[in-house]
Structures are given as structure tokens and as C-alpha cells.
């Protein structure tokens, strides 16, 4: 996969997603609307040190890979 596109849900859920197309055509509508926030070329690492091979496999199988940024622990 050459480019992985990055999306954020605008529903306030804190969900993000990777997709194989710039339109996010296979992202689940129930978690949207979705806004494209960027793209990651094949020669770059994904955000948060995510495993690119695992994300690509999910995109091939389902059309997307969702993720959520964990809130920082407060002590």
C-alpha cells in the first residue's frame, strides 16, 4: 500500500481511522462524519508507532483500521 490516509471522527468520540482511499469511502458511517486529517506515504512511519503491516492488513480486509488516542494518566 503506497499511502495510508488518516481520518478523525467529528462526532466527539475521539476515534481516528486509517483508510486506503482519500475519501474514506469504507469508514463506518455510524462513527462519522469523518474528516481527513492527513496522509502517510509508504516511506514514513504511522503515528504513535503503530505497526504499519497490521494496519495495512486491516485496510485490505475491512477497508479501514480505527484507533483512539488514550488519555494521559493523571497522578
Does the residue 60 lie in any domain? yes
Does the residue 73 lie in any domain? no
Does the residue 38 lie in any domain? yes
- If one counts the domains in the chain, the total is 1
pLDDT exceeds cutoff 70 at 12: yes
Binned at pLDDT 50, 70 and 90, residue 71 comes out as low
Round to whole Å and give the CA distance between 36 and 7: 4
Q: What is the pLDDT of residue 72?
A: 60
- Cα torsion 50, 18, 3, 57 to 10°: value is 70
- pLDDT (mean) for 15-25: 96
Amino acid at each position: 500500500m503506497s499511502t495510508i490516509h488518516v481520518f478523525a471522527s467529528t462526532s466527539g468520540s475521539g476515534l481516528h481511522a486509517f483508510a486506503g482511499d482519500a475519501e474514506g469511502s469504507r469508514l463506518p458511517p455510524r462513527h462519522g462524519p469523518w474528516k481527513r486529517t492527513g496522509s502517510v506515504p509508504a516511506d514514513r512511519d504511522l503515528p504513535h508507532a503503530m505497526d504499519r503491516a497490521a494496519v495495512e492488513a486491516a485496510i485490505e480486509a475491512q477497508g479501514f483500521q480505527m484507533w483512539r488516542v488514550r488519555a494521559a494518566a493523571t497522578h
